[in-house]
Structure 1
Amino acid sequence: MSDAKTIAIIGAGIVGVSAAIWLQRDGHRVILIDKAGPGEGTSYGNGGVLASCSIVPVTVPGLLRKAPKMLFSPSQPLFMKWGYLPKLLPWLTQYLKHANANDVERIAAALTPIVGDSLNDHEALAKGTGAEKWIVPSDYLFLYENRAQFEGDAFGWEIRRKHGFQWEELEGDAFRAYDPVFAQDIGFAAKLSDHGHITDPGRYVKDLAAHVEAQGGQIIQATVQDIAYENDQVVGVRAGGETIACDTALITAGVWSGPLAARLGVSVPLESERGYHLELIEPSAMPRSPVMVASGKFVATPMDGRIRLAGIVEFGGLDAAPSRAPFELLKKNARAAFPGVTWKEEVEWMGHRPAPADSIPIIGEVPNIKGAYLGFGHHHIGLTGGPKTGRLLAQMIADRTPNTDVSVYAPSRYATQ
């Protein structure tokens, strides 16, 4: 390609690595830069579900009324480090303004093109790489105590229906015939087909990154301080005391993208939605498919030699140590959901999901700086939407028009200059 570019990608999680692969397939030279190395951050610790139906944001109508009760109940999956609240308030105020039906409809419409065909997006991304083996097509089930509890979520299910999602309802014996591992008091499931899961998310991203390297890409472990540009055109990335020359820079560093984007004149109201997972190693039985247990708002995913439990939300910033209560709640919920399952040991993890106040990712070129692009802000659906996001960015960088309306993701909505 005569117009081949040198592209520095800051952040080697699922979005950055996806972009790298699609850019290489277009003939570009890529440099992946990450402070910890590929697949070490949020992409390592996610729930592992290719959750195409996860288009309904947390900010549903009624959240403002329910949130205080959730925060003060130890059995609810929402936690707060109270000393962080003054710093959180400006973001939280903006976030809660979206807890209405019109905004939820708008957000769901924006998320569907990014996540709605996730299994196919991942299979296309991983084709011909060493990462293919980690992708497992599967159902995805939402579990309820009974039909009445399911109907209490009618608002979200109607939004999914509007966007083309269909499901099978399994009740009582029909659900137990599908998967007998769960407790008797879980008597209803909404089963969505055409989903999937990743049986080792960290190794999946590392194998994708290894493919990038095998195809001539460069991987650098360093912390990026700034983007260098002259005459409003990117010329390099400053990392580890040196400038790495490039003509395009792409920021895909999750929640750590905010300060770099701000230096480019894009001030995103972004917070860490601190996420926890608990792995049950060598369990005596596995769920047949990944499930969302509605009563505890947690996901249980069968993985390579373990069950991963995820789904807690905590607000407390980037610096505070993990809390004990979320891990204990995950363990309690697991014992309640599949009481007959035993396991040999447990592994705990806490990481940071990038949460913009409007729940819509930031994807596209920075206004007024040629060659600077952003791709972050996926809340809890980064793994699901990573491959499509990377592909859209590769198309934009190649000056091709994506077949998706990308204006809704534009960084210009947060431009300060």
Structure 2
Amino acid sequence: MTKTVAVIGAGIVGVSTAIWLQRDGHKVILIDRAGPGEGTSHGNGGVLASCSVVPVPAPGLLSQAPRMLLDPNQPLFLKWRYLPRLAPWLVKYLRHANAPAVRRRAAAATNIIGDSYNDHLALSAGTGAETWLHPADYIYVYNDRAHYDASAFGFDVRRENGFSWEVLEGAAWKDYDPIFAPDLGCAAVFGGHGRISDPGQYVKALAKHVVAMGGRQILGEVTDVVRANGAVSGLRVGGETIACDAAVLTTGVWSTDLARKLGVNPPLESERGYHLELYGPSVMPRAPVMIASGKFVATPMEGRLRLAGIVEFGGLDAPPSRAPFDLLRKQIRAAIPGLSWKKEVEWMGHRPSMADSLPVIGESPVVKGAYMGFGHDHVGLTGGPKTGRLLSQLISGNTPNISLAPYAPDRFH
């Protein structure tokens, strides 16, 4: 049965959902207050990081966090005035910093992001967006073997979920990519990954395809869900009601207000992410790299190198801080000593961080026809296509081939 489905939010999750809905025979209305690919999807690290199934709250975080917050060379920042508002969420978040919770999250995350490159290939085929999609290794770079061995728990969890990698040291690592500093002497190389060479343009191209296939695009903010007999009948956009048979909420960290109107109170917080783009770099890494000591990613992009990472808690309203940009600059100079560039662009955005580090994917427990897909943490770009496909299957009345229980919208009661 053909439905008219309104997708709220035109980031990677929203446009992925829209494309799969169209392929499943539905009519689509894509609504965004700023336009496609203008938010978090624009500024992410650009890596299809399938192996990134280990969440930030891992064993040891509770003891490490205070030291990290007080050390300006560590990639964790906090706007202290925000702490009273953050505290209730933070308590829930830190409760998951244990091995059983990490293993549960990793297994559930693998079902969403574990085959991301192929998920993106399937999504982008025939859309014109595939020009931005590239196969690539993904590399974790360490100071030495002991530094790598200190991350054994995370690698054990990855192995348990089917990931494999090659450890390169010394000459073998230099042969793979000679541009890194001598004191970065060990690397874990994961094959079968991918990268997007311009995430903002990629999402825009996917959205353009939605319109080319008959989708309607609306610039505006959805303020309410209109119901009839307990089911979605439309959306309020400005002073207008847009009629629809179903609606999907995919607005990332801005999803809380509408989610509450749909009977869900997600423990969702902004994890402020920073990126620094270096245009005209003198050298470029062979593949996307995670510099483990600084917890930041350097990804080759179109004509530039994007550095992305840093965790800052400070809410949605505070302006960007200077220190994270300065730290990224300092870290890349240390990691690639010969690097120079012609100009740089700074950006700060908001990752939607759930207290249990898993997204919300599913139907509202109280409003029939209202669906949600948000809260993907650091891996929204990576998990967008699979999330969109799952949501389209649900809306079409088809049963997904994985259990959606770990992502259930009603799991917070």
Q: Which residue matches 1:161?
A: 159
Partners of 1:155 and 1:397 in 2: CA distance: 38
Aligned to 1:238: 236
The residue number in structure 2 matching 1:86 is 84
Corresponding residue number in structure 1 for 2:28: 30
Of 111, 114, 117, 2:112 maps to: 114
Structure 1 residue 365 and structure 2 residue 363: aligned? yes
Cα root mean square deviation, aligned: 0.6
Q: Report deviation, 1:412.
A: 1.4
Partner of 2:375: 377
| Count of residues paired in the alignment | 413
Return the TM-score normalized by structure 2.
0.99
Identity %: 66
User: How far, CA to CA, are the matches of 1:296 and 1:414 in structure 2?
Assistant: 33
Question: Following the alignment from structure 1 to structure 2, what is the Cα–Cα distance between the partners of residues 262 and 357?
Answer: 16
Query: What letter corresponds to residue 207 of structure 1 in structure 2?
Result: A
> Partner letter of residue 55 of structure 1?
V
Structure 2 counterpart SS, 1:148: helix
Aligned twin of 2:247 = 249
Q: By how many angstroms is 1:79 displaced?
A: 0.3
3-state secondary structure, aligned to 1:75: coil
**1:137 equivalent in alignment to 2:135:** yes
Partner of residue 313, structure 1: 311
Paired residues for 1:204-353 under 5 Å: 204-353=202-351
Which residue does 1:196 correspond to in 2? 194
Using the alignment, how far apart are the partners of 1:131 and 1:414 within structure 2?
36
Question: Which segments of 5 or more consecutive residues in structure 2 lack a partner in the other structure?
Answer: none
Distance in 2, Cα, partners of 1:400 & 1:407: 16
Provide the C-alpha distance between the structure 1 equivalents of 2:119 and 2:309, rounded to a whole number of angstroms. 23
Displacement after TM superposition at 1:328 (Å):
0.2
Please state whether the residue corresponding to 1:411 is helix, strand or coil. Answer: coil
State the 1:407 CA deviation.
Answer: 1.4
Are 1:151 and 2:177 counterparts? no
- d(CA) in 2 for partners of 1:373, 1:21: 16
Amino acid at match of 1:227: V
How far is the alpha carbon of 1:351 from its aligned partner?
0.3
Give, in whole Å, the separation in 2 of the partners of 1:56 and 1:281: 31
**2:262 and 2:366 in contact (8 A); partners too:** no
Deviation string 1:87-108 (CA, Å, 9 cap, x unpaired) is 0000000000000101001010
Matches of residues 39-54 of structure 1 in structure 2 within 5 Å?
Answer: 39-54=37-52
Cα distance in 2 between the residues matched to 1:134 and 1:145: 32
Output the CA distance in 2 between the equivalents of 1:23 and 1:308: 32
Deviation of 1:414 after TM superposition, in Å, equals 2.8
Q: How many angstroms does 1:160 deviate by?
A: 0.2
CA deviation string 1:312-354 (max 9, x = no partner):
1100000000000000000000000001011001100000000
Aligned-residue offset at 1:368: 2.5
String of CA shifts for 1:53-91, please: whole Å, max 9, x gaps: 000000101100000000010000000000000000000
Aligned to 1:386, the other structure's residue is in SS state helix
Paired with 1:303 and 1:53, the residues of 2 have a C-alpha distance of 20
Between the aligned partners of 2:357 and 2:164, the Cα distance in structure 1 is 24
Q: Distance in 2 between matches of 1:366 and 1:83?
A: 34
Amino acid at match of 2:134: V
Q: Distance in 1 between matches of 2:64 and 2:291?
A: 19
Aligned residue for 1:76, secondary structure, equals coil
Q: Match of 2:109, SS? A: helix
- Which of these residues, 9, 13, 16, is aligned with residue 15 of structure 1? 13
- SS of the residue corresponding to residue 412 of structure 1 reads coil
Q: Shift in Å at residue 230 of structure 1?
A: 1.6
Q: So what's the TM-score if we normalise by structure 1?
A: 0.98
- Structure 1 unaligned segments of length 5 or more: list them: none
Residue 270 of structure 1 and its aligned partner are, at CA, apart by 0.6
The aligned residue for residue 178 of structure 2 is 180
Once residues 209 and 132 of structure 2 are traced to their aligned partners in structure 1, the CA distance between those partners, rounded to angstroms, is: 14
Give the counterpart letter for 1:139 in structure 2.
D
Residue 388 of structure 2 aligns to a residue whose secondary structure is helix
For the residue of structure 1 that corresponds to 2:91, the secondary structure is helix
Determine the structure 2 residue equivalent to 1:410. Answer: 408
CA distance, structure 2, for counterparts of residue 368 and residue 43 of structure 1: 29
In structure 2, how many angstroms separate the alpha carbons of the residues matched to 1:368 and 1:283?
52
Q: Distance in 2 between matches of 1:386 and 1:414?
A: 22
Cα distance per residue 1:160-216 (max 9 Å; x no partner): 000110001100111111101111111000000000000000000000000000000
Matches of 1:139 and 1:356, distance apart in 2: 28
User: Aligned partners of 1:228 and 1:110: how far apart in 2?
Assistant: 32
**1:356 maps to which of 349, 354, 375:** 354
Runs ≥4 residues deviating over 3 A: none
Q: What displacement does 1:363 show?
A: 0.1
Contact 2:135–2:195 (8 Å) recurs in 1: yes
